[in-house]
Amino acid sequence: MTKPIDPVDLTARLVRCASVTPAEGGALVLLERVLSDAGFTCTRVDRGGVCNLFARWGAKGAARSFGFNGHTDVVPVGDEAAWTHDPFGAEIVDGYLYGRGATDMKSGVAAFAAAAVDFVRDTPPDGAIILAITGDEEGPALDGTTALLDWMAAEGEAMRACIVGEPTCVETMGDMIKIGRRGSMTAHITVTGKQGHSAYPHRALNPLPAMARLMDRLASHTLDAGTDHFDPSTLAIVTIDTGNPATNVIPAQVRASVNIRFNDTHTGASLTAWLQSEIDAVQAEFGVTITQDTKVSGEAFLTPPGALSKLISDAVHAETGNTPEMSTTGGTSDARFVKDHCAVVECGLVGKRMHQVDERVPVADIATLKAIYTRILRAYFSQP
């Protein structure tokens, strides 16, 4: 009988791969070997210098196809001298596995890979299991999961439902899953006037009062009151800068940036239009020129509570005793791309130590996560 895959050992081996975005670091090579040995058909879907891995067990185009999505790239270590343990050593101390990416999200990848391998070996399902793993979630995310989904569409590969294995819990295993995410966008705004001597302000056109008025209008505006599944949208002013070291010069330009986290009341396009209307009003009032350069990182989305979220919630409760809150809080994840392909829910570890110095995860939680994923697969493929 084949020995089950130990998700803790697989996590440790992945952590030892120094896969800081965009370096592959050997992590996808390791996973491809593990999955290929278990009968998965593996394909590297590299694009734009980014390494990605697609793996499928079962028939292409199967009517029932369950997917997992995750990433093996990690954020930089930062000050390595501040770490108590080697950030790529995967040391286990007092029940914790230490290392960059231990929480976000090599444990999640190891858990769903181990669950998938053991499941198809023990109970070959009537259908397909797909793993879509990227090396570009922590970076620009232009050639990661999007590249995998583009390739899948071209090749006729499809997931009918998907779990993104990002950390989702707040304090204890099983206390939260994500059924959606807020949208995110950043607007870079430039106000241009006319430079002049501060002793003769009538000979200049100061852009600063216009910027101050605009920022006040934006920050004072209530975008919405929230929805059934989302908190109210927020706008944060993140920088205002003139680059002017002189106190006797009125600058010609001032720049500012705002970040908006928005719910499904809005779209990136509707908020861009609202920003432009505010810009137009201030521009007319002050006689300056104002431009915006806006980037939408992801639209708000929701997978309404239903069959998929119940299946996952039931599995989490069975393994942890917790009934998870169905949340849409937090930043963005690659679920924002997967949602255009199929129904998607995020379910993973406790995330409070991700990206920190001495990032670590309880080894017991890794085993629990594998058990949750295994129970989900059994439940999904046992349905009529």
Q: What is the pLDDT tens value at each position of the chain, 384 positions in all? A: 689 999 999 999 999 999 999 999 999 999 999 999 999 999 999 999 999 999 999 999 999 999 999 999 999 999 999 999 999 999 999 999 999 999 999 999 999 999 999 999 999 999 999 999 999 999 999 999 999 999 999 999 999 999 999 999 999 999 999 999 999 999 999 999 999 999 999 999 999 999 999 999 999 999 999 999 999 999 999 999 999 999 999 999 999 999 999 999 999 999 999 999 999 999 999 999 999 999 999 999 999 999 999 999 999 999 999 999 999 998 889 999 999 999 999 999 999 999 999 999 999 999 999 999 999 999 999 987
Q: At which residue do the structure tokens 């994840």 appear?
A: 333
According to the model, what pLDDT value does residue 2 have?
80
According to the model, what pLDDT value does residue 384 have?
79
* 245 within 8 A of 271, measured Cβ to Cβ: no
Residue among 181, 168, 160, 184 at smallest CA distance from 301? 181
Tell me how crowded residue 244 is: count the other CB atoms within 10 A of its CB. Answer: 14
Which residue ranges form the domains of the chain, and what is each CATH number?
7-181+300-382 (3.40.630.10), 183-298 (3.30.70.360)
Residues with catalytic annotation? 73, 137
In 226-307, beta strands by DSSP E: 234-241, 249-250, 253-262, 289-298, 301-302
According to the model, what pLDDT value does residue 383 have?
86
* 46 within 8 A of 40, measured Cβ to Cβ: no
* 375 within 8 A of 315, measured Cβ to Cβ: yes
In the chain, beta strands by DSSP E: 41-44, 52-57, 65-71, 92-93, 96-98, 128-134, 161-164, 176-178, 180-181, 183-192, 196-197, 234-241, 249-250, 253-262, 289-298, 301-302, 325-327, 343-346, 360-362
Read off the DSSP letter of residue 283: H
Pairing of strands 360-362, 96-98: antiparallel
According to the model, what pLDDT value does residue 1 have?
62
Token pair listed for 306? 């239903």
* 309 within 8 A of 303, measured Cβ to Cβ: yes
